[in-house]
């Protein structure tokens, strides 16, 4: 597989080792992009900082916690609410963000006092919340404030509160990925093992590396509960602080985003002997395999099978309606980390999309191994691209859609390439069987939206016809497909509700009597 | 044309690389364990032997192997192979996994002493 040289990056020769063209005859041992390295000076990267990776990706989805950044307000404010990690407690963690608001005088005289005042003020302002996470930033790290000592003082004065400290300042790693690592290890070191949970099932898991973007966690939790599995904790979407202190009592760690959370699974495996099982929650086939594997582990594969049958029957005709209209559409799959491999093969197999490029901003070489293995030959794989490389790739590959974050997404829009939000989603959740149909629906809407055609019209010089411009998505999508498909009575568009999560909250689940300890777990 | 043992092995290798995740754990020692245990149990299942699954770790390897073998029912030639051929093919498959993902891997993190 040859390394790929971008015209725009010829002046940055180190970049050549960060991109590869996948060829049919070669494999990963012939070429693999470098990854998880410091951004090369001169290349304008789109990464986040290590504080951001720790706080905004992993810490903040915890729902019953005051999340306080010890630093200038911009660190927390500028990225507040950019992810839609909702929760079933009225989104406390999304509604409020807290910062100690460090100023120049604190840099000179220290900010421990202001931090302590802030912690107490925050707990008093929200008396029903008794848990807090404090995140170090560049400023508080550089002046050496002892955050742990301050937190300890507060915990002694307020015995009903508990505080977690995450020391992952912005500079602690090449990208947000450094922060993922730090908060994983800090949590397992400082908090796991402190709470003994009530075990209510013979089958107990931690669901790890899942952040409840628009309800993903709640969709998967629904399947687990229907199988009679107790989800002891979720790390961390819709997760509860005290549940996560009890992670050591699970029988199995079910790992979704290995990029951000394999560390804690690996540690729990080493320290407590809990096995790690990597799964895919997206796509009918991979999700069915994942539920079956979990079912097999616990000896309840029949329960998994019943869910797969019911859900497939309900949603497959809707997925197929979109798949029939998406065949051959070209996609640049450019998410931040794990979605490049969660989605690369299955959007091709189940929706007929051609993945012409995969990239990762903060992934490691392991993510590229997975992504390159899963995409088809011909795809261009790029590690940590800069904006010019992204543009060059789009001009060359001419995708019908890019699936990415909002920063590169806005760049794509400027050159009239439709974009779908891979990080916060457009109209998720995208996990689960129904979620996968919602994803297909969003892809369809993006690819065929008539707005993109109109956007190509230059009103300063093009003639604008006033009688021919009425089009709908379906007029565009159906003109070249088999009439038998168009007129099919079986296939139809998405018929789920606008909010697919509401029905899951307060749902009653079957009771499976506990038989006692499983022999094998 | 009949498939050779090598082409059968390549088909299974492609299947694993595209559909599985267990072979990609992030450290060399961990990949060795995964490849060793899951391929061993998959081989036993294909040869109608009973894999060990009494510890949580073994049960997890077995669940991965069992799911894989169940999915491989899409390859009808697999059930027609003799146990000797199956073992030989699976041995080669494990060598390929080890070679591509461990010994000849370009992944510079594989030998990082920390996770
Ligand atoms: S790099 Fe430092 S100063 Fe900038 S947002 Fe991250 S923690 Fe704050």
DSSP secondary structure of A263-317:
HHHHHHHHHH---EEE---SSHHHHHHHHHHHHHHHT-HHHHHHHHHHHHHHHHH
The Cα–Cα gap between B22 and B88 comes to 22
Count of C-beta atoms within a 10 Å radius of residue B80: 8
Whose CA is closest to A292, among B58, B46, B71, B34? B71
Q: Distance from the CA of A331 to the center of ligand 1, in angstroms?
A: 33
| Tokens coding A60 | 């903040």
Instruction: Select from 3.40.50.1980, 3.90.1300.10, 2.30.140.10, 3.10.580.10 the CATH code of A7-42+316-454.
Output: 3.40.50.1980
Across the interface, of B18, B26, B108, the residue whose CB is closest to A345 is: B18
Report the chain B residue with the minimal C-alpha distance to residue A338: B21
pTM, two decimal places:
0.96
Question: What pLDDT digit, counting tens, does each position of B58-105 carry?
Answer: 999 999 999 999 999 999 999 999 999 999 999 999 999 999 999 999
Helices (H), chain B: 5-19, 28-46, 56-71, 83-98
CATH for A50-190 is 3.40.50.1980
The Cα–Cα gap between A379 and A120 comes to 53
Report CB contact under 8 Å: B25, A289.
Answer: no
Is A300 part of the contact surface with chain B (CB cutoff 8 Å)?
no
Whose CA is closest to A442, among A390, A401, A480? A401
Is B63 part of the contact surface with chain A (CB cutoff 8 Å)?
yes
| Tokens coding A337 | 């980390």
Backbone region of residue A193 per phi and psi (left: phi > 0; alpha: psi in -120 to 50; beta: other values):
left
Is B40 part of the contact surface with chain A (CB cutoff 8 Å)?
no
Q: Which helix (H) or strand (E) holds A140?
A: helix A138-143
In contact, A401 and A52? CB cutoff 8 Å: no
Angle at which helices B83-98 and B28-46 cross, to 10°: 170
Q: Whose CA is nearest to atom 6 of ligand 1?
A: A170
Residues of B in contact with A274 (CB under 8 A): 56
**A:B CB pairs within 8 Å:** 95
Q: Whose CA is nearest to atom 5 of ligand 1?
A: A75
Report CB contact under 8 Å: B18, A373.
Answer: yes
**Preceding amide of A429 cis, omega within 30:** yes
Across the interface, of B59, B66, B105, the residue whose CB is closest to A520 is: B59
**Strands (DSSP E) found in A71-166:** 98-99, 131-136, 162-166
Across the interface, of B22, B56, B100, the residue whose CB is closest to A521 is: B56
CATH for A204-310 is 3.40.50.1980
Sheet containing strand A330-334, strands side by side? A19-21, A380-383, A354-360, A330-334, A401-404, A419-421
pLDDT at A518: 53
Pairing of strands A252-255, A204-210: parallel
In contact, A370 and A341? CB cutoff 8 Å: yes
Query: For testing the chain A interface, which of B98, B103, B106, B112 should be mutated: the one with the most A CBs within 10 Å?
Result: B106
Ligand 1: residues within 6 Å at CB?
Answer: A 49, 51-52, 71, 75, 137-138, 169-170
Report CB contact under 8 Å: B56, A263.
Answer: no
Across the interface, of A263, A345, A365, the residue whose CB is closest to B108 is: A365
Q: How far is A187 from chain B (nearest CA, A)?
A: 15
Which atom, in ligand 1's list, is nearest to the CA of A71? 8
Terminal C-alpha separation, chain A: 43
Burial grade of A467 (CB within 10 A; 0-12, 13-18, 19 or more): exposed
Ligand 1 mutation target, pool A138, A140, A173, A176, most atoms within 8 A of CB = A138
Ligand 1 mutation target, pool A52, A55, A69, A174, most atoms within 8 A of CB = A52
Residues of A in contact with B112 (CB under 8 A): none
The Cα–Cα gap between A373 and A367 comes to 10
Tens-digit pLDDT profile for chain A (521 aa)? 799 999 999 999 999 999 999 999 889 999 999 999 999 988 888 889 999 999 999 999 999 999 999 999 999 987 787 789 999 999 999 999 999 999 999 999 999 999 999 999 999 999 999 999 999 999 999 999 999 999 999 999 999 999 999 999 999 999 999 999 999 999 999 999 999 999 999 999 999 999 999 999 999 999 999 999 999 999 999 999 999 999 999 999 999 999 999 999 999 999 999 999 999 999 999 999 999 999 999 999 999 999 999 999 999 999 999 999 999 999 999 998 889 999 999 999 999 999 999 999 999 999 999 999 999 999 999 999 999 999 999 999 999 999 999 889 999 999 999 999 999 999 999 999 999 999 999 999 999 998 887 887 888 887 777 777 788 899 999 998 999 999 999 999 999 999 999 999 999 999 999 987 554 44
Residues of B in contact with A341 (CB under 8 A): 21
Residues of B in contact with A28 (CB under 8 A): 100-101, 105-106
pLDDT at B115: 67
Q: Distance from the CA of A191 to the center of ligand 1, in angstroms?
A: 25
Is B64 part of the contact surface with chain A (CB cutoff 8 Å)?
yes
The Cα–Cα gap between B47 and A322 comes to 41
Q: Distance from the CA of A244 to the center of ligand 1, in angstroms?
A: 27
Q: How far is B112 from chain A (nearest CA, A)?
A: 13
What is the interface pTM, i.e. ipTM, of the complex?
0.97
Is A304 part of the contact surface with chain B (CB cutoff 8 Å)?
no
Separation in Å, CA A364 to CA A129, A235, A323: 36, 20, 31
Across the interface, of B26, B58, B60, the residue whose CB is closest to A366 is: B26
The mean pLDDT of B27-38, rounded to a whole number, is 97
Mapped onto helix, strand or coil, the DSSP state of residue A70 is strand
Q: Distance from the CA of A266 to the center of ligand 1, in angstroms?
A: 28
pLDDT at B1: 64
Terminal C-alpha separation, chain B: 46
């Amino acid at each position: 597989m040859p390394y790929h040289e971008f015209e725009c990056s010829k002046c940055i020769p180190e970049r050549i080792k960060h991109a590869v063209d996948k060829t049919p005859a070669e494999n990963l041992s012939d070429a693999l992009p470098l990854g998880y390295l410091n951004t090369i000076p001169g290349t304008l990267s789109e990464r986040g900082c290590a504080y951001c990776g720790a706080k905004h990706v992993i810490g903040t989805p915890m729902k019953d916690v005051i999340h306080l950044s010890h630093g200038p307000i911009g660190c927390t404010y500028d990225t507040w609410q950019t992810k839609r990690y909702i929760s079933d407690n009225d989104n406390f963690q999304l509604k409020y963000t807290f910062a100690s608001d460090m100023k120049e005088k604190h840099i000179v005289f220290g900010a421990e006092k202001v931090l302590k005042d802030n912690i107490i003020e925050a707990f008093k302002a929200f008396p029903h919340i008794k848990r807090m996470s404090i995140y170090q930033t560049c400023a508080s790290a550089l002046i050496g404030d002892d955050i742990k000592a301050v937190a300890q003082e507060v915990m002694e004065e307020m015995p009903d509160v508990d505080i977690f400290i995450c020391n992952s300042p912005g500079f602690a790693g090449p990208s947000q990925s450094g922060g993922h690592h730090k908060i994983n290890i800090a949590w397992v070191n400082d908090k796991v093992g402190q709470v003994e949970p009530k075990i209510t099932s013979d089958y107990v898991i931690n669901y790890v590396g899942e952040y409840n973007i628009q309800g993903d966690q709640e969709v998967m939790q629904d399947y687990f509960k229907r199988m009679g599995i107790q989800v002891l904790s979720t790390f961390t979407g819709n997760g509860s602080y005290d549940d996560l202190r009890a992670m050591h009592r699970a029988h199995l760690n079910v790992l979704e985003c290995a990029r951000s959370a394999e560390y804690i699974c690996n540690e729990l495996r080493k320290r407590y002997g809990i096995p790690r099982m990597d799964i895919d929650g997206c796509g009918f086939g991979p999700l069915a395999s994942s539920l079956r594997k979990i079912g097999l582990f616990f000896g309840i594969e029949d329960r998994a099978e019943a869910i797969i049958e019911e859900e497939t029957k309900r949603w497959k005709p809707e997925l197929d309606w979109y798949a029939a209209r998406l065949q051959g559409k070209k996609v640049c799959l450019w998410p931040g980390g794990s979605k490049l491999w969660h989605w690369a093969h299955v959007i091709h197999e189940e929706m007929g999309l051609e993945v012409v490029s995969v990239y990762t901003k903060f992934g490691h070489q392991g993510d590229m191994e997975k992504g390159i293995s899963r995409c088809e030959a011909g795809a261009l794989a790029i590690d940590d691209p800069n904006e010019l490389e992204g543009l060059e790739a789009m001009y060359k590959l001419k995708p019908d859609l890019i699936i990415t974050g909002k920063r590169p997404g806005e760049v794509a829009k400027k050159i009239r390439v439709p974009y779908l939000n891979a990080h916060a989603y457009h109209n998720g959740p995208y996990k689960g069987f129904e979620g996968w149909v919602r994803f297909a629906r969003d892809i369809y809407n993006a690819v065929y939206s008539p707005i993109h055609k109109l956007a190509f019209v230059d009103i300063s010089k093009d003639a604008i016809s006033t009688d021919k411009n009425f089009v709908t998505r379906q007029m565009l999508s159906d003109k070249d497909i088999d009439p038998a498909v168009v007129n099919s009575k079986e296939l139809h568009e998405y018929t789920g509700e606008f909010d697919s999560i509401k029905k899951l909250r307060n749902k009653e689940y079957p009771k499976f009597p506990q038989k006692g300890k499983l022999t094998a777990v | 044309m009949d498939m050779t043992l090598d082409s059968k092995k390549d088909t299974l290798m492609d299947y694993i690389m595209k559909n599985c995740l267990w072979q990609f754990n992030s450290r060399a020692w961990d990949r060795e364990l995964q490849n060793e245990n899951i391929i061993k149990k998959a081989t036993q299942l294909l040869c109608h032997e009973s894999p060990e699954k009494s510890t949580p770790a073994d049960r997890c390897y077995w669940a991965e192997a069992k799911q894989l073998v169940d999915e491989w029912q899409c390859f009808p030639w697999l059930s027609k192979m003799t146990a000797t051929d199956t073992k030989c093919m699976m041995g080669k498959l494990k060598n390929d996994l080890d070679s591509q993902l461990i010994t000849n891997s370009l992944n510079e993190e594989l030998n990082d002493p920390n996770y």
